[in-house]
Amino acid sequence: MQGLSVVVVGGGAGLGALIAEMAVRNGAAAIGIIDINAAAAEAALAPARAAGLPAAFAACDIRTAEAAHAAFAQVAEELGRVDTLVNSAAIYPRKPILEITDADWDASNAINVKGTYHMMVAGVRQMRQQDPKGHVRGRIVNITSVDAFKAHPQNAHYAATKAAVVSLTKSMAHEVAPDGILVNSVAPAGMATQKAKELGFLGELAKASPLARGGEPEEMAEWVLMAGGPKNTYMTGENIIVSGGYIYA
């Protein structure tokens, strides 16, 4: 991420916070975080502030275009430019497929699909105004999931939203390619997060993987940094599956 200004949506906790931290360790020039939880977003900026980097955050509910675009504009103005946008905000509801309500569908679509779309639009509008670095004006990386490609019990509405983001990624990539903006997504499988450890999921993750373990969050974040980093100058419209062999595509 050497020399790039990076904004992470949903960067207040979990994988998003780790991506922001690893971007700092990998030479990012500035970090922005957009998250509904202002305290979490500010805390996640601690590594950037400790490194003396420009850092900005905006508290935002990304379900509406107005709020999402205003938050992005605020962070972009404070940082000066946005080279890489990572969309990591999502909800992960679980419910048997015959029990999913309209409210469940609306909540999942509003955050996982519409929210990601709103932030992509805001990112593209900003990046189009920027001078390119080499061939590239900007990079967008969306976090999807292997659930978009493989059936998972009690997870149909989440899986459907992640499949929608894969499709959105491809469509956006095609439309903004002439602007020098690269749009890709990364689809993690089960991760050995602290929550997985607390809930006892690690055994299930190990059984599901030919590598006999769940992926470490850092292993997923590395691919996000690759897709959003300066070495990616030609890949766009791709969905990178990082599953340890859980699925092959």
Long-range CB contacts for residues 36-42, cutoff 8 Å, separation at least 24? 36/12, 36/60, 36/61, 36/62, 36/89, 37/12, 37/13, 40/12, 40/13, 41/11, 41/12
CATH of the domain at 142: 3.40.50.720
Q: What is the mean pLDDT of the chain?
A: 94
Would you state the structure tokens that stand for residue 78, as one six-digit string? Answer: 């404070």
pLDDT at residue 248, rounded to an integer: 83
pLDDT at residue 8, rounded to an integer: 98
pLDDT at residue 6, rounded to an integer: 98
Residues of the chain with pLDDT under 50: none
Give me the active site residues, please: 158
Q: How far apart are CA 13 and CA 91, in angstroms?
A: 12
Q: How far apart are CA 191 and CA 74, in angstroms?
A: 32
Would you state the structure tokens that stand for residue 227, as one six-digit string? Answer: 């897709």
Number of domains in the chain: 1
pLDDT at residue 66, rounded to an integer: 97
pLDDT at residue 67, rounded to an integer: 97
pLDDT at residue 196, rounded to an integer: 73
Parallel, antiparallel or unpaired: strands 84-87 and 5-9: parallel
Cα 78 to chain centroid, rounded: 21
pLDDT at residue 200, rounded to an integer: 76
Q: How far apart are CA 183 and CA 179, in angstroms?
A: 11
What digits encode the pLDDT tens for the residues 4-55? 999 999 999 999 999 999 999 999 999 999 999 999 999 999 999 999 999 9
Domain residues for the domain of 238 are 5-248
What digits encode the pLDDT tens for the residues 200-218? 777 887 888 899 888 899 9
Cα 249 to chain centroid, rounded: 21
